[in-house]
Amino acid sequence: MKGITASAPGKVILFGEHAVVYGRPALAAPVFSVQATAYVEEALPNSGLLIHAADLDLNLSLADAVTHGPALAAQLALEHLGTPEPDVQITIRSTIPIAGGMGSGAAVSAALIRALCTYLGHSIGDEALSALVYEVEKFYHGMPSGIDNTVICYGRPVYYIKGREPQFLLVKHPFDLLIGDTGVATPTRITVGAVREAWQRAPQTYEALFDAIGAVVEKAQAAIERGEVALLGPLMNENHALLRELGVSSPELEQLVKVARTAGAAGAKLSGGGGGGNMIALVDPANVERVGHALRKAGAVRVLHTLIR
């Protein structure tokens, strides 16, 4: 049987991370310059389903579904199709930084499920795919909002509220972002857990911060849909200040955010879980080079350039 490849993009949260876990809206966009891919091919008879995570040099089978996301993703795909375990070899690769807030886990799950379903003769729709990837995300994060699987599976910018149908974001004027990686890998569940503890200790303070973030998100959505890109930089700065108050920034993130603004970015903020991971900066195309250079000089281990459209 012919081998099948499927891929899924990385993502950035533009506005609203953390508050989205508490029912406020958030905006996110796919990043196609980094990808997870899965290749499914026939394996020897009676070998069962084997997964090779090429970048990690890790081999998994369905028995690993209780401990490893990709094996769980494969198991959920087979349950979804009602198909017995096939003899296949699945090779997964990813250029998405791990634990950097770019959705690497969700993208690997999405690529794997899509490739396996296609190989077995069923094309899976975005909605069903997103629901399965969400189940795997729960395994990674405990209580994810669902924004990562949504933006990655649909592959379009979204306005997202937990538990509701995703709304797609219409980007009137595309805009350039730089994504700067602090190089500090911080699993999302750590910062999400810290915010939860702080919220339990001081619910009123945190609810007020989530409301303030929600208000920024609404303004950002309107600005993006009207093509008022000039409004987005100050809104990013405002969102970052609120995230700092939530306690999810870090010295490395602060440094990159400051350097980006000084070098001419229109605005900058941490993106994703925080505590490390990535920050984003809104840049005029003419400033991409300069801000990118400044970020690298200030310690960013990777700087990606992406156009949000």
Catalytic residues: 148
Q: 129 or 192: whose CB is closer to ligand PMV?
A: 192
Q: Is 13 in the site for ligand PMV (CB under 6 A)?
A: yes
Q: Which residues contact 258 (CB under 8 A, 6 or more apart)?
A: none
DSSP per-residue codes, 285-301 = GGGHHHHHHHHHHTT-S
Strands 158-160 and 26-42: antiparallel
The single residue among 6, 14, 17, 107 that binds ligand PMV, judged by CB under 6 A, is 17
Q: Is 209 in the site for ligand PMV (CB under 6 A)?
A: no
| Subset of residues 161 to 190 that bind ligand PMV, contact rule: CB under 6 A | 188
Copy the structure tokens of residue 32: 């196609």
Residue type at 254 in one-letter notation: E
Which stretch in 34-42, 140-148, 200-208, 297-305 sits in contact with ligand PMV by CB under 6 A? 140-148
3-state secondary structure of 24: coil
148 and 203 in contact (C-beta within 8 Å)?
no
Q: Which stretch binds ligand PMV (CB under 6 A): 31-39, 81-89, 138-146, 197-205?
A: 138-146
Select the residue interacting with ligand PMV from 6, 18, 49, 220 (CB under 6 A).
18
Structure tokens at 142: 């405990």
Minimum CB separation of residue 31 from ligand PMV in Å reads: 11
Select from 36, 38, 89, 148 the one that contacts ligand PMV (CB under 6 A).
Answer: 148
Q: Shortest distance, CB of residue 55 to ligand PMV, whole angstroms?
A: 18
- CA dist list (Å): 82 to 117, 128, 196, 243: 11, 14, 37, 43
Helix (H, G, I), strand (E, B) or coil at 227: coil
Q: Pick between residue 8 and residue 13 the one whose CB is nearest to ligand PMV.
A: 13
- Is the CB of 150 or the CB of 237 nearer to ligand PMV? 150
Please give the torsion angle defined by the CA atoms of residues 137, 138, 143 and 149, in that order, rounded to the nearest 10 degrees.
Answer: 30
Binding site for ligand PMV (CB under 6 A): 13, 17-18, 20-21, 101, 103, 141, 144-145, 147-148, 188, 192, 272-273
